[in-house]
Every structure is written in C-alpha cells, then in structure tokens.
Amino acid sequence: MTATPFFSVRNLHLSFADRAHKPLFGPAPRIEVLKGLDLDIGEGRITGIVGESGSGKSTLGRVLVRLLDPDSGNVMFKGQDIAGLDEEALRPLRRDLQMIFQDPMSSLNPRHKVWRIIAQPMKRYGLGGTREQATEALVRVGLPAEFGDRFPHQLSGGQRQRVGIARAIAVGPSFILADEIVSGLDVSSQAHVLMLLSKLAKEMGLTVAFISHDLSVIRHLCDDVIVLDHGVIVDNGPVEQVFDDPQSDVTRKLLAAIPLPEMDDTWFER
C-alpha cells in the first residue's frame, strides 16, 4: 500500500427512494444501501469487491467512478474529495475513471463499427481518436485489426468484452472499475479475459476495482479484497489474510459455498 491511498473513502452513505412503498402524498421512504463505509484502495493494486446479491458492491463501484452521488461522506481520489463535485468539475477526471460493464452487448453501440466505438471516447478527451489509434487498442487486447470493421453483434461474448476493455484503456486511465465482467462468459472466455486484465494492469500500472461473486477468481486475480454484507464492510484486507483468517461469518459462509481449487501461477493458462 502507498502512504496516500489512491482512493480513500470515509463514512460513505448512500440511499435510494423506495418507490414501491411511496405513500399517496409525500416523498417515498429511503432504503439505505451503503452504511458508513470506510475503505482504502492502494495505487497499482487490484482490489476485489465481493458480496451476495444486494450487498451494495456494484453501488459502491459506481460511487467510486461517480456514476452515483453519495448522500454523505468523503471519496478521496488522489487526495481530492470528489464526493460532492458537480458534472462540470468532474469532467477533467472522467478520463482517469473508466468502467468495463457487465454486459458488453448493451454497453456497445450496435450501430457503430468496433473501431468507432473505441475511438469515440478518445475524441471526447482530445486524444485524437483516429482509426489507427483504435486499431492499436484493439490489437493490444488480443483481437485482429480487421475486427475493427465488424459490428458488436458479429462478435462473441468474450470478443465483445475485449472491445469494452479496449475502449476503457484507449484513453489512458489510471483507474478501472470492472463490474462482473466475466459473469456471462463461458469458462474458457472467462480465463482469457481475466488473464488480459491482469496483464494490462501490470503493463499500464492500473489501479483496478474488480467486482465479482466468484471467490476463486478473486483469490487468484486480486491483491486485496473487500467483503460487503447489506451495505457494511465485514472483511477487508490482503487476499491471503482474508481467505486464511476470515473475520466474519458472512465471509466464512461465502468461502464455504464456493469450491476453491488449489491454484498456482499457471492456473489461468491451464
């Protein structure tokens, strides 16, 4: 861990309106999703965020990249509190805070060819966005240059997810949020996408928050892990420490529920 964390979150609260129980008159009641979270994410590390459905892990991720506004608390990004910034103030930071979505088919414009999908964010941030630059990003994620002329529906699920990764890295971010990016892929495609993410993180010095429900993947891919339960952090620390000595019944339950094979450094390749 660095002396100054890449992300430092303190007393983070977020709630949503419960419209299903809105009274005839007056505002809808609020459902608290994140309940006073304190956490640090170290620079250049891959931090897993894990928990059961409804634990708040995706909500936390979206607060980190400011796709959601917290009710209160501090979200320090490289020493700057971004929790209360409006969109104009956030605009210069958007390039640094990129996201890879769970469903690449719904996050890629079906009317655009792959090279344009990759190039558009580059143009937005004044980075050129030429076809050559888009092709370079495409090749970097292991896809042939000629795939730039294809449309998303002409690619497999694993290939579409690689396009999503290419779009994220093309703008040169320092942080990537990967939200359940392999949950819809077959086992072979999962392994290849995870190998790619690990490789790019090392090569580019990226800080990554990796949201997943698969503890086998978390143990192999991540340096640190945060375990959430109903909006509260119940375990937090280096992966080896949390897996070897879980501090909560929730973590022990998650570990017991999922088979964890013994893995060495060649596990993904095999």
The domain limits of the chain are 7-43+54-203
- Predicted local confidence at residue 125, as pLDDT: 93
Mean pLDDT of the 146-168 span: 95
- Predicted local confidence at residue 135, as pLDDT: 96
Q: Looking at per-residue confidence, does 19 or 31 come out higher?
A: 31
What separation in angstroms does the CA of 102 have from each of 99, 121, 252? 10, 19, 26
Name the CATH superfamily for 7-43+54-203.
Answer: P-loop containing nucleotide triphosphate hydrolases (3.40.50.300)
- Predicted local confidence at residue 267, as pLDDT: 56
- Predicted local confidence at residue 2, as pLDDT: 44
- Predicted local confidence at residue 262, as pLDDT: 56
pLDDT of 149 higher than 70: yes
pLDDT above 70 as % of the chain: 94
Mean pLDDT of the 63-83 span: 95
